[in-house]
A = this chain, B = another copy of it.
C-alpha cells in the first residue's frame, strides 16, 4: 500500500503545526487538536499519522510532539537536502530561487535562461550549458518556469541529462518517460477554482 497524494500533501502541514507546538514547549498533542488547527477531519489526521509513525497517541495523553516531528521528517526524507536547478530565470523563476520555504527540502544551486542578458555567470547560466552542468553537478531535480512554447523541448533535454523529478510551473502537460516524476503547479487552474467558489456563494 502506498500513501495517497492527498495524505502526502497534508504531512508538511502537520509538521508546521507540530513545530509551532514545539517552539511553545508543548510536549503532547491530540489528533483532534491538529485537525482543528488545519480544519481537517480528525479521523483522517489519525489515519495519516498512523501511516508514518508507530507513535500511537495514547488516550488522554496524545502523541509525543518531538517523536511525530522526527517520524514525519524521516518519512519525507527531509533534512536530506537535494540540489535543484531552475529553468527559466524570469520573475517566477527568481521568486522561487529566493523563496524561504524550501530550505529543508532542496537547495537551488543555479538557474538557466536563453536570454544572455539574464545570465550573470554566478547563479544564472545560459541554457546552452544545461546538459553539461546537470551532468557535472549530478543534479536530479529541475523546476521549470518557462513559457509554454519551449517547455516540452527543454523538458526532453532535462530528461536526457539525467533529471528524474520536474516541478512544472509552465502551463503545459509534459510528456516524459515513466521513470521521471512530474508535478504540475498550474497557477491559473488554482485561481479559477477560487473565483468559482466565490461566485457560488
- Are A197 and B173 CB-contacts (below 8 A) given A92-B99, A188-B101? no
Which 3 pairs show the lowest CB-CB distances between chains A and B? Answer: A95-B95, A183-B194, A165-B198
Chain A 6-35 per-residue mask, 1 if CB under 8 angstroms from chain B, else 0: 001111110010000000000000000000
* Most chain B CB atoms below 10 A, which of A77, A102, A179, A192: A192
The reply to whether the CB of A59 lies closer than 8 angstroms to some CB of chain B is no
Q: How far is the CA of A179 from the CA of B98 in the complex (A)?
A: 34
Q: Is A11 a contact of B198 with CB atoms below 8 Å?
A: no
A contact residues, total (Cβ < 8 Å): 61
- Are A173 and B37 CB-contacts (below 8 A) given A101-B188, A102-B191, A193-B9? yes
With both beta carbons as reference points, the residue of chain B lying nearest to A99 in the complex is identified as B92
The reply to whether the CB of A76 lies closer than 8 angstroms to some CB of chain B is yes
Taking CB atoms, residues of chain B closer than 8 Å to A37 are 173
- Are A95 and B91 CB-contacts (below 8 A) given A164-B198, A201-B179? yes
The reply to whether the CB of A5 lies closer than 8 angstroms to some CB of chain B is yes
Q: Is A198 a contact of B140 with CB atoms below 8 Å?
A: yes
In-complex Cβ contact of A167 among B11, B147, B191, B199 (8 A): B191
Q: How far is the CA of A85 from the CA of B195 in the complex (A)?
A: 14
In-complex Cβ contact of A77 among B102, B140, B166, B196 (8 A): B196
Q: Is A197 a contact of B179 with CB atoms below 8 Å?
A: no
The reply to whether the CB of A185 lies closer than 8 angstroms to some CB of chain B is yes
The reply to whether the CB of A110 lies closer than 8 angstroms to some CB of chain B is no
Q: Is B171 a contact of A16 with CB atoms below 8 Å?
A: yes
- Are A102 and B195 CB-contacts (below 8 A) given A91-B95, A94-B91, A173-B38? no
Q: How far is the CA of A75 from the CA of B191 in the complex (A)?
A: 14
